[in-house]
Chains A and B, each alone.
Chain A
Amino acid sequence: MNIIVPIKQVPNLTDELEINGEGNNLDHEALQYVLNEFDEHALEEAVLTKESASGTVTVVGVDTTGELDGALHTALAKGADKAAKITGDFPRGTDSHTQARLLAEAIKDMSPDIVLTGVQAADDRDGQIGPMIAAHLGMPYVGVVTGVTVSGGKAVLHKEYAGGVMAEFEVSLPMVVGVQAAHQPPRYAPVSKIRQIAKTAKIDEIAGGEAAGAGSTVRRMFKPESAGHAEMWEGSPEEVAEKIAGLIRDKGLLRG
């Protein structure tokens, strides 16, 4: 079974985020990049799937930072079997439409049985990479998945809904899964092991095609502005609700 894990690197949120000079994006060059946390869960779920159902895990990503090798070596240390990077003129912050198309083109040639990727990423938060890869590949997609079990050409998926509701899906392979959380916390890869692997590992290079063009454009990006003060309303739920409705009316937020 071919298990494919598309990954992407995102700005490290433990660092101070900087806005670029134009004020419409992050200052990507000033930021440190780390692997998207949801992709770490996708990788963990992939390795767990391999361990229970056998198969090969291939990790693939668009090298937007010039530093993707580190993330790929880490993935290999955690139990992935193969690693590939898509290269080309794709700078940091490359939009998700482009990344999805590049990834889908690369994955198409890998004859995937199941594609596991993070349900979303901390950079754009639109959660579109998984569904778009599925659309490009003509495969079904299920997102917000917290558990994958594969057997006999089918995958049983646990999907989380709001309000603590869980659903179980049975989907025929091949398919794309957006992983919310793996069965167990992502394993730790000892740096000793990553450094050993970095010396010998082979990373396949895939030349990337055309950029797809972003699905949305950011007009202005700015840090949260702190201003004003909070007013605490007391009273019965009805009274408070009346005040809230009044405020919404006064601020002109109601149409018509």
Chain B
Amino acid sequence: MAKFLLKRLVMMLLTMLCASFLVFAVCEFTPGSVARKTLGPFATQQQVDILSEKLKANDPLIVRYGRWLGVLVGAIPDPLQDPATGLNFKDPRGAQYFGNFGYSTLSKLPVNDVIWDRLGNTAVLAGLAFLLIVPLSIIFGILSGLKEGGPLDRSLSVICITFTSIPEFASGVFLVTLFVILWPVLPGTSPLNADGGWSVASQLILPVAVLVIYDFGYVARMIRVSMIGVMERPFIRTAVLKGMSMRKVVLGHALRNAMIAPFTVLLLQINFLVSGVVVTELVFAYPGFGRLLLDASLFGDIATLEAATLVTVAIAVTTQLIGDLGYMLLDPRIRVR
């Protein structure tokens, strides 16, 4: 078991290394240099060239990636904070410490000052959505999986397929039209402060609804397939034939078996929600991680983008690991050999 965990941890680290390098490589294609973005559009070409020289931004890709990695693990100080650049970038934590994500050229703040609050806001949003997605999808999935092709299955399936066909920005438009414009009971933006007269709780309803609508149908379909598979198994037939009540068959025998496969699917939704928040946060002006990621990639703020990527990839590989471990706990037949 310890060996398995160790192996998985090494794989996780490798995946994150590869992912961060890929992002670095893709950013090579960005029009405009780091120096230009740091100084703004009104700096002269000469100033840009001087800063590029000081930042060693003309070094080959692999050298710069190595330097970024060195700054991250605290092996070398962040070159952007060097007083010689004249940028006056100061991180209260110092220029050299473990977990130094560098300096955001977009917000002119250390990435560590920008990213964690945003991530917290997004965790609230995605967490609430997840708490609703799990019971909703389980109820829908179990009910439609009870009798494949029956009228209940058909109507629930059509509902689920319809909901998964609504992109977040479209459901945002629909919900805002309904609950903000036609029947004004909810706020149309969610800046997470009470300045507009709306409580923070009321600001969360629509963004959470948008995430739930797009996602729960998909999970319900997965649970449905798994439930159908279980209901066809011999032990269910035996239970029914010996006269057990349908309620007891479903709750006592089918449910746990039907939940094994969707358990991983449910966990993967955490990863999926990270995609979902990008659009949702933009629609509702929610100060979250997804918008930070979007802004950083549009602006070409590599330091922030790298930090955001590492966080999302870390979330993904961690949920995968938890998924595999939970899978083994739920189903004793699948244990590592």
Q: Do A and B come from one complex?
A: no
What is B's interface to A at a CB cutoff of 8 Å?
none
What is A's interface to B at a CB cutoff of 8 Å?
none
